[in-house]
Amino acid sequence: MTSEYFYSSLPVLPDFSAVSDISNFSEFPDDWCVIVADIKNSTDAINAGQYKVVNILGVSVISCITNIAKPMEIPYLFGGDGATLCVPGSLTNRAAQVLYATRQMAEGMYRLHLRTGIFPMHELHKAGHQLLVARHRVSKHYIQAAFAGSGFEYADRRLKSEEQGHGYHVDISKEIILPDYSGLECRWDNVPSKHGEIISLIIKAIAPGVKKEAEIYDQIIGKIREIYGNDEECRPVYDDGLRLTFDGGNLSYETSIRTFARGKLAYFLYWLHLRLQNVLGWFLMKFEIKTGEVYWGNYRRDLVTNTDFRKFDGMLREILSGTAAQREELTAYLEKRYKNRECVYGIHHAESALITCLINKREGGHYHFVDGARGGYAIAAIDMKKRLKSLRQ
């Protein structure tokens, strides 16, 4: 078996709690690479009301890279204002081309600077950083990647450094191509919290050694479950909260990206087609009709369970639905552990969640990236960085 199939050959862990056991992770081969994408000054864009744009640009990176990798499976993580992926070295040239084009799209359409970089795994290893990966089951149809080690943080720092990032940034492509964003969809209204609010949570354990860090994560995951309940109680996306959007402005995000550089007529025809598709989708799901291999009565239920509301990339990231009292109890618990120098954390709350979708097939094979409204993960990350800075002073 070649290293291209390293990720798809890993065993599938039964549930998310298994990511707190470092023995469940495997190290990437030297000939793989890390791809990091991040929107510069995303906070300014969010404050200007562009949080949906920030989200869909992050998912557009995942879409164009997974499309060039097919049928190969590659691991990725959506971070709210960007994305991180790992690919075998054989894909790096094509990845650089579509990343460059996606950068041009973000700049041309939204005046946002999408920083992108490709970092060879062997250079991360040489610099003393590990990057480990595991697969865990989210639902019947969705297997998610989890990451451990300092490799992502190292690559992210290099990407954002004017000096250290030189040579890794994807700044030019010798061949101009149009990326394939097929599967990228943004067709749902924001999902209101069924309990009052949505929190976006990022937690980084601080401990001497990965074993102690794993213990801290295991304890924190258990405490979150104790406060917020089981998955069904705290999921930010739920069947009754799902509403297909017919707002022209909301539909323009997907339309703009899917018709990038194809002209005004292509934009109008896709936008019109999208509205008609949403009418048809509403009808098919409402009356639970079967068309071909797709039973539309299952689609919304699968959407709920195929959502990435909980993930791990060396830090714990969760989007949860709950009450203000639950948030205050969790914050008090995390603040105590922060003052004991066991973790840093960031938290942001809003009234709703937003979802951006990646559709491989309508029957089961559709995956949904969730973030808190009004900035979600991006604002939580700023909150966490303030605590980290204070801890280091």
For 119-148, write each residue's pLDDT tens digit: 999 999 999 999 999 999 999 999 999 999
Quote the pLDDT of residue 167: 67
For the chain, the domain total comes to 1
In 3D space, the residue among 76, 115, 141 whose CA is nearest the CA of residue 294 turns out to be 141
Flag whether 361 is in a domain: no
Domain that holds residue 10: 3-181
Q: What is the rounded CA–CA span in Å between residue 210 and residue 216?
A: 10
Q: Is the pLDDT of residue 393 over 80?
A: no
Quote the pLDDT of residue 8: 95
DSSP per position, 118-150: EEEHHHHHHTT---EEEEEESSSS-EEEEEESS
What radius of gyration, in Å, describes the C-alpha atoms of the chain? 20
Flag whether 84 is in a domain: yes
Mean pLDDT to the nearest integer, 257-282:
94
Flag whether 368 is in a domain: no
Quote the pLDDT of residue 392: 82
* pTM for the model: 0.94
Quote the pLDDT of residue 304: 97
| CA atoms within 13 A of residue 62's CA, in its CB half-sphere | 28
Flag whether 233 is in a domain: no
Flag whether 135 is in a domain: yes
For 48-81, write each residue's pLDDT tens digit: 989 999 999 999 999 999 999 999 999 999 999 9
290-291 and 352-359 as β-strands: parallel, antiparallel, unpaired? Answer: unpaired
For 141-199, write each residue's pLDDT tens digit: 999 999 999 999 999 999 987 666 566 778 766 666 789 999 999 999 999 999 999 99
Quote the pLDDT of residue 355: 97
Flag whether 236 is in a domain: no
| CA atoms within 13 A of residue 186's CA, in its CB half-sphere | 31
The values of phi and psi at residue 205, to 5°, are: -70, 145
Flag whether 109 is in a domain: yes
Q: Is the pLDDT of residue 1 over 60?
A: no
Residue holding tokens 């009301």? 49
What is the helix, strand, coil percentage profile of the chain, to 5? 45, 25, 30
Mean pLDDT to the nearest integer, 208-230:
93
- Residue 16's CATH number: 3.30.70
Flag whether 388 is in a domain: no
Contacts of 100 (CB under 8 A, 6+ apart): 116, 170, 171, 172, 173
